[in-house]
Amino acid sequence: MMEIKILGSGCKNCTTLTKVVEEVLGELNMEATVEKVTDFQDILGYGVMKTPGLVVNGTVKFAGRIPSKDEVKKVLEG
């Protein structure tokens, strides 16, 4: 199963990114585990300096901005 992590402190942008990811998963009828990572040391461990960040199966796909739904779809469809 796909593993998705949202990196961030829980700010508005992080919440927005979570909603975008959940909407795309629903539209694609995909299942994935979605985890919020809020610990700063864990976020730094991914090399992300600006949040929000999106990690899919251990790879950072976006950082420092909210990607569009189309961008997220492309990443999740692989």
Active site (catalytic) residues = 11, 14
Q: How far apart (Å, rounded) are the C-alpha atoms in residues 4 and 46?
A: 13
Residues 6 or more apart whose Cβ sits within 8 Å of residue 12: none
Q: How many CA atoms lie within 13 A of 41 on its CB side?
A: 0
